[in-house]
Structure 1
Amino acid sequence: MERYNLFIDGRQTPPNSDRWFDSDNPFTAEPWAEIARGDAVDVDRAVRAAHQAFIQGAWPAMSASQRGLLLHRLGDRIAAEAARLAAIEVRDNGKLYSEMHAQLQYLPQWYYYYGGLADKLQGSVIPLDKKGYFNYTRQEPLGVVAIITPWNSPLMLLAWKLAPALAAGCTVVIKPSEFTSASTLAFVELLGDVGFPPGVVNVVTGFGAEVGSPLVEHPLVRKITFTGSDTTGRHINVQAAREFKHVSLELGGKSPNIIFEDADIASAVNGAVSGIFAASGQTCIAGSRLLVQDSVHDAVVEKLLALARSATMGDPMEAGTQVGPITTRPQYEKVLSYIDIALADGARLVLGGAAATRPACGKGWFVEPTVFTDVHNSMRIAQEEVFGPVLSVIRFKDEEEAIAIANDVRFGLGAGVWTSDIGRAFRMSERIQSGTVWVNTYRAVSYMSPFGGYKDSGIGRENGLDAVNEYVQTKSVWINTGAASGNPFVIR
């Protein structure tokens, strides 16, 4: 059993409680590491260390260019450690090593990109309507940022928040998911190697009530950025509003993946499988509602089932594995419960529908790739986020009905459109209510392109130029260059 401590003020430190909790390997269903169980005392220590690092010392004394150089160096260190960090993530969350290693190899680009942006956060000179004044604006960092990350892609989703926050000049306290904390604790050890001052990045691990709530409520935290369920996101938003804290919330999804009759069916089916069975469906952008036009419905379903049946399940560290386990025992049970709900509501099960018992799956928390047809959009299986390898196939007649079904859900994170008609591609992209629309592809992301949700899928944007603006505030500066003082009781 490996043991991981907290990371506060540049040092590994044991928790105030002197308690640790197990982190389970989803493939073996057995604990492999002990994680420090933080509490409100640890949160206070971490936030105060971050606040101190923000207001004085080496970090605020650095130029923006110097901060950017540190981010570049961090990217280099991640590249050198990609294989090791990926293996830790697989052991902790059960996702495929092939995907985690690819993510870790791509991850340095976030730190390079925002390292390059660090010294380009510039204000403006305002050409005022008033003579005798000079007015300009400054972009200033918000302060201490609380970063709360989920269990499905810990280091990738951490980078989406950490890189722009550091580029802006903020300091941070990270609370990773209690299910997948190990890779974050391994990652932050790299910060001292490249020269980040102590206190700039801190990690407190533990549970929501003991760490998450004290972190969100701490008076020195000025912003909370969170990825996770809409239920938790709503709670965080309420807590943050009490003290007018800034928030970025990337929440759930129930994304429509829409196949029209003029689509390249083979490519569309490949995209449908990628959208729901890759990562065992444990992505917020999972294309869990497959909308198929009536005229090609049967052909699409036939090809879909053939491809899904061929998926190899087993050890996520093996190169040939295509579908790994569900990351947590509670999530595994939740996915199975939604299969029962769909059956009770009248959906037709055409593939899977049970825990996987293949020998290659061992004792792990595996669910067979599952497909339902005859799904109506009002069913719970079509309205609620399952976060597992469960696909609902829904028929539609024409473009108008496809739009109506796609938007008839409280989420709006992603959507896919498969068509050879360029006019339809533009029309659908305009009318679908989601933060991202993919046309003839699915599940593509980049550090250069903004990502976020409509409706219950969240607030704010990550990635691209938009993300760094989430961590700064604008200050307006007025300088009198010769204007008369005038009547002191009248606004200038």
Structure 2
Amino acid sequence: MSAVTKVSSFVNEAFVDFSVEENRKAMEAAIAKVKGELGKDYPLHIGARKVMTEARIVSINPGDVNHVIGSVSKADQALAEEAMQAALQAFESWKKVPARERAEYLFKAAELMRERKHEFSAVMILEAGKNYAEADADTAEAIDFMEFYAREMIRLSHINETQPLTKVAGEDNNLTYIPLGVGVVIPPWNFPLAICVGMTTAAVVAGNTVLLKPASTTPVIAHKFVALMEEVGLPEGVINFIPGSGAEVGDYLTTHPKTRFISFTGSKEVGLRINKLAADTAQGQIWIKRIIAEMGGKDGIVVDETADLEAAAQAIVASAFGFQGQKCSAGSRAFIVESVYDEVIEKVAELTKQLASGLPENNYYTGPVIDQSSYDRILQYIEIGKTEGRLLTGGGKAPGNGYYIEPTVFIDVDGSSRIMQEEIFGPVLGISKAKNWKEAIALYNNTEFGLTGAFFSSNEERIAEALDTVHCGNLYINRKCTGALVGAHPFGGFNMSGTDSKAGGHDYLLLFTQAKLTSRKI
């Protein structure tokens, strides 16, 4: 099979239908297996060394806080420096490995993850509080990222064939994409496998080496990925696993003179801090550090009077409350044209009240939020919402031995209010009334963010204008604003949503490489 054929054969990993009894039982068996392994100790991976430390990050089940998922060793600055040196050493050989050979590690890892798909999903059900479908989609996306970026690296290695340079008589000209160096990868907890895998493997397949600092609430699933890469034979030091404090380890590596790039997904506040720290030139630094950042959103759905109102209501509820609203793409705002406003909010209320809450391992649609800090913050926003709008449904804690919050809807909310402007990252939806569809778009655009949005209408002229004027990185017409697929919906946003680094797109790997032109007289 030629490289070009291999590249063009990418197909998204299929989602599992858990209404089929066989599939449901398979997931239940995987959960039981993972539960039998709870409480294990996990080491740092620094070059060839597995390091156990006294300081630990203890991962707990947010749906049942009495259960410890695992105890993960915690790096300090000295261990972070050791990891940096291991990554620098590994880079000298890894950068010389042919692109096709680097890609093969990803193909092998994707195949193994596919074989053990339910086990990876089960870890996230217990560690992150995802239901079966959300966890399965997370694992599927991780597989997709590895397959897609492997093919993309092969394509870039043949760039002179697929995108030939202009011919010049008497010269042999070639463009190659070479790696940057050592990068710091800081993934989030809400897609603790997919985004962790995507960010890390994009950097690695491009020829870089990585210092991986996973989210402190979901370090066990990140370790499972690192162990998988070790299993497929990835050379030592290419991925160094160093969980640790953001203030201690994160800042140290961000300001390190040998750090070539930082790839980050998380909050606006942390992303801006990383950008600021990285902008300063450390003593001995000989490059401008590259920042690849995805920093969240305040996404929304606009509905006009010509829309399919049932479909719009379903999309609003799915976008707002899928995985408890803990997605940077979550539709936490809706703007409805006044002539259909009452009808839409009635449908939204009915659908929201149907959402069952309970343990993710029992596959309830609504599970817990991630931790105590998030729980307290979201409940505070709900109290703020009670002063800024009219409570339609929800509005408080939900039962369970974990961080459960009722899916909450506020209506008649002013577009400039706090719950319509600040990222809550929880199951809270605000709805505003608009005089007409143009005002609804203006209300949507009134935000510092610009990640995802959706526009519901059956009027083609309005849709055409929405395509031009709704300001976000990923705009969807007549569908929910969550659920981007690798290769189909390159993902990244405008403004304070980040650097519009389109993960899962054809230009993403360029962010982890630098283009070198060579010209030889013949």
CA distance in 2, matches of 1:274, 1:44: 44
Which deviates more from structure 2 when the two are superposed, residues 19-28 or residues 159-168?
Answer: 159-168
CA distance in 1, matches of 2:248, 2:73: 12
Which deviates more from structure 2 when the two are superposed, residues 106-115 or residues 243-252?
Answer: 106-115
Match of 2:419 in 1: 381
Q: How far did residue 81 of structure 1 move?
A: 2.1
Match of 1:417 in 2: 455
3-state DSSP class of the match of 1:349? strand
Match of 1:327 in 2: 370
Q: Deviations over 1:376-429 (max 9, x none)?
A: 011001000000000000111223212211111000000011111233222212
Contact 1:53–1:171, Cα closer than 8 Å, also in 2? yes
What does 1:299-378 correspond to in 2, within 5 Å? 299-319=343-363, 321-344=364-387, 346-357=388-399, 362-378=400-416
Identity between Structure 1 and Structure 2 (%): 33
Match of 1:451 in 2: 491
3-state DSSP class of the match of 1:154? coil
Which deviates more from structure 2 when the two are superposed, residues 201-210 or residues 386-395?
Answer: 201-210
Instruction: Answer yes or no: is 1:145 the counterpart of 2:180.
Output: no
The count of aligned residue pairs is 470
1:453–1:106 distance in 2 versus 1, CA, 3 Å:
closer
Letter in 2 for 1:260: D
3-state DSSP class of the match of 1:65? helix
Q: How far did residue 430 of structure 1 move?
A: 1.6
Letter in 1 for 2:276: V
Match of 2:227 in 1: 189
Instruction: Answer yes or no: is 1:227 the counterpart of 2:270.
Output: no
Q: Deviations over 1:60-115 (max 9, x none)?
A: 34211111111100101111222222122222211213320232134312211211
Match of 2:83 in 1: 46
TM score, norm. by length of structure 2:
0.87
What does 1:109-128 correspond to in 2, within 5 Å? 109-122=144-157, 123-124=159-160, 126-127=165-166
CA distance in 2, matches of 1:318, 1:114: 34
CA distance in 1, matches of 2:466, 2:375: 34
3-state DSSP class of the match of 1:323? coil
CA distance in 1, matches of 2:111, 2:297: 33
CA distance in 1, matches of 2:148, 2:502: 16
3-state DSSP class of the match of 2:360? coil
What does 1:9-408 correspond to in 2, within 5 Å? 9-15=47-53, 18-30=54-66, 32=68, 33-56=70-93, 59-122=94-157, 123-124=159-160, 126-127=165-166, 134-243=172-281, 244-319=288-363, 321-344=364-387, 346-357=388-399, 362-408=400-446
CA distance in 2, matches of 1:217, 1:128: 43
Match of 1:466 in 2: 507
Q: How far did residue 259 of structure 1 move?
A: 1.2
Q: Deviations over 1:231-271 (max 9, x none)?
A: 00000001111132001110121112111111111111111
CA distance in 2, matches of 1:453, 1:21: 31
CA distance in 2, matches of 1:173, 1:215: 9
Contact 2:302–2:441, Cα closer than 8 Å, also in 1? no
Q: How far did residue 49 of structure 1 move?
A: 1.4
3-state DSSP class of the match of 2:193? helix
CA distance in 2, matches of 1:136, 1:7: 38
Match of 1:5 in 2: 43
Contact 1:461–1:470, Cα closer than 8 Å, also in 2? no
CA distance in 2, matches of 1:418, 1:435: 17
Unaligned runs of 5+ in 1: 482-492
Q: How far did residue 137 of structure 1 move?
A: 2.5
Q: Deviations over 1:264-292 (max 9, x none)?
A: 11111111111011100000011011111
CA distance in 2, matches of 1:101, 1:301: 30
CA distance in 1, matches of 2:123, 2:48: 21
CA distance in 2, matches of 1:207, 1:312: 35
Match of 1:490 in 2: none
Q: How far did residue 304 of structure 1 move?
A: 0.7
CA distance in 2, matches of 1:150, 1:99: 16
Q: How far did residue 117 of structure 1 move?
A: 1.9
3-state DSSP class of the match of 1:456? helix
Q: How far did residue 134 of structure 1 move?
A: 5.0
Contact 2:300–2:454, Cα closer than 8 Å, also in 1? yes
Contact 1:10–1:201, Cα closer than 8 Å, also in 2? no
Letter in 2 for 1:93: A
Contact 1:22–1:31, Cα closer than 8 Å, also in 2? no
Letter in 1 for 2:119: R
CA RMSD of aligned residues (A): 1.7
Q: Deviations over 1:14-40 (max 9, x none)?
A: 23xx21132221111235021212111
TM score, norm. by length of structure 1:
0.92
1:150–1:292 distance in 2 versus 1, CA, 3 Å:
same
Letter in 1 for 2:511: E
Q: Deviations over 1:140-178 (max 9, x none)?
A: 111112110111111111122123222211111111111
CA distance in 2, matches of 1:426, 1:36: 53
Letter in 2 for 1:26: P
Letter in 1 for 2:485: S
3-state DSSP class of the match of 1:266? helix
3-state DSSP class of the match of 2:331? coil
Q: How far did residue 186 of structure 1 move?
A: 1.4
1:454–1:106 distance in 2 versus 1, CA, 3 Å:
closer
3-state DSSP class of the match of 1:298? helix
Which deviates more from structure 2 when the two are superposed, residues 422-431 or residues 253-262?
Answer: 422-431
Q: Deviations over 1:205-236 (max 9, x none)?
A: 12111221112122222110101000000000
